[in-house]
Amino acid sequence: MYQSTLNWSLAILDKTIPDVIVGRLPRYLGTLEQMEREGINKTSSQELGERLNISAAQIRKDLSQFGEFGKQGTGYSVPFLVERLRSILKVDRMWEMVLVGAGDLGHAIARYQGFTDCGFTIAMIFDNDPAKVGVNIGGFRVEDVANLVSKVKSRTIQVAMITVPASSAQAVADCLVQAGVRAILNYAPTVLNVPSGIRVQYIDPVIHLQRMTYYLD
């Protein structure tokens, strides 16, 4: 009896946020960080919405899912909202990432400086090409993918990026899951099958381009 009451109240408190809202939070955070760099200390749902092409009502509704972050009449404190969003998105810490695939794209990502300030850092790079294993990229020695499972497991890394050809992406994903990875950013143009509970996001320029040519003539 007590148990079920407890569960019920927890269920209320711990309400599930729709994925479409979660998907907008990183965009809010990015724009607010930009405002911070510009020295802006206060903002409103209106102003934020204009920067993002999102309605003010939607921004207020989204943010209100997580607490009352604003003040009537004055709006939101930019640094406070940045701090809250970082905490909500769990990027108030540093996530170590594995990068699998040391081709051109893997190189570019390994050398990209934009991850650190956003809560991410590359910890290991793997490839299956003997010619690449041992090579230094962005300060890391490329490791043999054959050792991926044990090495990733031993460092309890939860986030991975896949930049291998489509034909080997599923096999790589299987290894990553086996190694305990729970979030995968897949640059290979193929759908990955993963157990439920493992998050996958896709980056495929062709998908974006084809979505635009529909409107051209």
Q: How far is the CB of 62 from DNA (least distance, A)?
A: 7
Q: Which of 147, 98, 101 is nearest to 123 (CA)?
A: 98
Which of a second copy, DNA, none sits in contact with 74, Cβ below 5 to 8 A by type?
DNA
217 near DNA, rule: CB under 7 A: no
The verdict on 53 binding DNA (CB under 7 A) reads no
CA atoms of 94 and 9, how far apart (whole Å): 32
Site for DNA contains 71 (CB under 7 A): yes
Residues of the shown chain interacting with a second copy in the complex, contacts defined by CB under 8 A: 22-23, 25-27, 29-31, 34, 51-53, 88-91, 95, 97, 103-105, 107-109, 111-112, 114-115, 118-120, 158-159, 161, 182-183, 185, 189-191, 199, 201, 203-217
CB of 27 to DNA, least distance (A): 12
Q: What is the residue-wise DSSP string for the chain?
A: -HHHHHHHHHHHHTPPPPHHHHHHHHHHHHHHHHHHHTT--EE-HHHHHHHHT--HHHHHHHHHTT---EETTTEEEHHHHHHHHHHHTT-SS-EEEEEE--SHHHHHHHH-SSSGGGTEEEEEEEES-TTTTT-EETTEEPEEGGGHHHHHHHTT--EEEE-S-HHHHHHHHHHHHHTT--EEEE-SSSPPP--TT-EEEE--HHHHHHHHHTT--
Establish if 75 lies at the interface with DNA (CB under 7 A). yes
Q: Establish if 18 lies at the interface with DNA (CB under 7 A).
A: yes
> Closest separation between CB of residue 10 and DNA, Å?
19
Distance of closest approach, residue 201 Cβ to DNA, in angstroms: 17
Q: Of these partners, a second copy, DNA, none, which one is at the site of residue 119 (CB under 5 to 8 Å by kind)?
A: a second copy
Q: Is 20 in the site for DNA (CB under 7 A)?
A: yes
Report if residue 64 touches DNA, rule: CB under 7 A.
Answer: yes
Which of a second copy, DNA, none binds 68 (CB below 5-8 Å, type-dependent)?
DNA
**Two structure tokens written together for 175:** 């290894």
CB atoms within 10 A of CB 170: 18
Whether the CB-CB separation of 154 and 129 falls below 8 Å is answered with no
x/- mask, DNA, residues 23-52, rule CB under 7 A, reads --------------------xxxx------
Binding-site ranges for DNA (CB under 7 A): 18-21, 43-46, 54-58, 60-61, 63-64, 68-76
